Structures are given as C-alpha cells and as structure tokens.
Amino acid sequence: MKAKFTGHDTFPLRYGWLFKAVNHLNSNGNFSSSDEESIRHSIVELGVGKNMVKAIQYWAESSGIIESDRKNNKTFHNVTKNKGHFLFGDNGKDPYLELHGSIWLLHFWLNFNDEHLTAYRYFFNYSNVQYFEKSKLIDDCYEDAKRLVKSEVGNITTIKKDMDCFLNMYSKKVKSTAKKIDEDHFTSPLAELNLLQDNGRSFYVSNLTERPELPIEVFIYALLEFFKVETTESKVSTVDFDSLLTKPCSPGRIFRLSEAGLGQKLDEAQQHTKKEISWVDSLGLRQVNISESVKNNTFKYLNDYYGKSNV
C-alpha cells in the first residue's frame, strides 16, 4: 500500500462531478496535467477552474469511475465498464445519484481499496474510534500510516489537509448558535449517509450501528466483492463473521456496522438470496456460506436494486 494524501486540492467530492467526468471522457475529452490544450479544453467543458478539474479527476479515479492508461509517454483516461458506465454512462443506472443506494455504492467504491491509503480510507478501514477529536485522529493517522505504507508518508500537514477534506465531505456541520444544518455542507453526496456527525469544536461522532437505510442489495454486492478478495487463492465457500466485521475493506468496516447490525444484514441477505448466502451462529462458530451460483455474480444484486427502484 502506498500513501496518497494529496490530489484533490482540498475540494471534497460534489454532486455532478462524476457524471461530468464520464461525459467529458465520452465526448473525447481527457484529463491531463501536462498538455496545456487538454487542460484548457477540460476547463471549458467541465465549467470549473483548473484546480477543480484536478479534483474531479482525483475523485473519479479514486472511486474507480475512470482509470488511467499510459501510451507513448502520454496518460489517457477511460471510463470503467463495471463502475463508470454502469452508474454514469449513457444508459447508466443512476447518473445523477438520485437513489440513496447509489451513494452507499459510491462510498463502498471509494473505500474498498488497499493500494492507496488516504484519510478517508484510514478512517473507515483502520481506525477504531467512534468519538474523536480531529487533532487526535490526524496524529493517529500519521503514526499508523508510517506502519501501514511502504512509500514515504509525507508530513503531518499534508495529512491534516486530507483529513479536513474527508471530514468536510462526510459530515454535516451544525451551526452552534442556530442549531440548524448549514446548507453549505450539502454539496457532497456522501454527507447524506450520516456516517459522521460534527459536534462542533473539532469533535466528531461516528457510531457503529445497524444501518437499516443501507439497501440489502448494495450490502450483498459489497459482501461478495470482499469475499472474492478474501478467497482469491483458495476455493473455500465460507468467510468468517469476524472478518466481515473488522477486517480492512470489509462491509462491516466500510459501512460502520455494529456486531448486531452485521448479523441483521446477514439475516436479510439470507432471506433475499433464498439462502444462496447463509450463515450460522451457534456454539461460538460464526461463518457465512456463499453458494457457487452467486460467487462471481456480484452485479446481479445491484441490477435487482436498480430494476425495482424508481427514480
């Protein structure tokens, strides 16, 4: 894993940016930091300043909506089939993120990554705090990053900026005087998930809970994606409950599920898949079984969700 605490120029992800990124590439645009003509074209097409162009590229790459490819010493970008085209393409399932499940899915894509460590991936995959002060989380991230990554971590100021961006992106700030939600902080769709609450004075809360608002189809997709990674080199059909709850990149970690919450989601998954996904919890043994018919069919359940949902 490498450190990647820069790239967004402190701009949190905003509504419409990923759709803009996909449209830009689909209309023969490109993201480039070295080709002045390409930069000017991106500024005009996306309708934002140069720094925001970089931020749009960063969030599109970090979520897997686009990917880079280097040819003849030039970097080109493509829209990914299973993410970019699936959600934001011409026939995308929800290009304007009007469905709550799409935001949960985007959250999973952003954090299901063990190649690059960022402030948000650190929090959702490695931090164990539920109540914290920003300065302490920054210090923890800095110290843990030196242990987790193979590359240079950089200085703590860089991590602070990335942490500020993450906190602004995921939390709705409350004005201490009026006790009302500040409208300025509705610009990021990820704040709608309510995974992080800003209590003011740099104190935050992020409870582990049951998440009834998380669509079961998105949970099943995340479970199957995690299972594929966990069993890459084996042919087992089971995964340990505790791994699903606490391992980095697991559904329990990324969705901030409590132990009871994960059990509840597994009950729902068992019912939804007619026991193609099942689990046992007896005599200290807690295991989840995945049948062969669904192992490599992760997008089936997302298609079920978008098929039944009305925007």
Query: What is the Cα–Cα distance from 205 to 260, expressed in whole angstroms?
Result: 19
State the virtual CA torsion across 69, 81, 16, 8 in degrees, nearest 10: -30
pLDDT of 60 over the 90 cut: yes
Convert the pLDDT of each residue in 236-259 to its tens digit: 789 999 999 999 999 999 999 999
Q: Which residue has the higher pLDDT, 130 or 308?
A: 130
Angle in degrees, CA 112, 56, 96, rounded to 5: 80
Query: What's the mean pLDDT when you consider all of the chain?
Result: 89
Angle between helices 299-308 and 216-230 (to 10 degrees): 170
Q: Which residue has the higher pLDDT, 165 or 282?
A: 165
Query: What is the Cα–Cα distance from 218 to 11, expressed in whole angstroms?
Result: 27
pLDDT of 179 over the 70 cut: no
Confidence category of residue 35, pLDDT binned at 50, 70, 90: low
Question: Would you state the structure tokens that stand for residue 57, as one six-digit string?
Answer: 């590229």
Q: Which domains are seen in the chain, by residue range?
A: 17-96 (1.10.10.10), 117-205 (no CATH), 216-308 (1.10.10)
Residue 127's alpha-carbon distances to 123, 145, 263, in angstroms, are: 5, 11, 21
pLDDT for 178:
45
pLDDT of 74 over the 90 cut: no
- H helices of 149-258, in order, are 156-170, 216-230, 241-246, 251-254
Residue 95's alpha-carbon distances to 23, 74, 87, 221, in angstroms, are: 10, 29, 6, 19
Question: At a CB cut-off of 8 Å and minimum separation 6, what does 114 contact?
Answer: 1, 125, 248, 249
Query: What is the Cα–Cα distance from 50 to 277, expressed in whole angstroms?
Result: 47
pTM exceeds 0.75 for this model: yes
pLDDT of 183 over the 50 cut: no
Using only C-alpha atoms, the chain has a radius of gyration, in whole angstroms, of 20
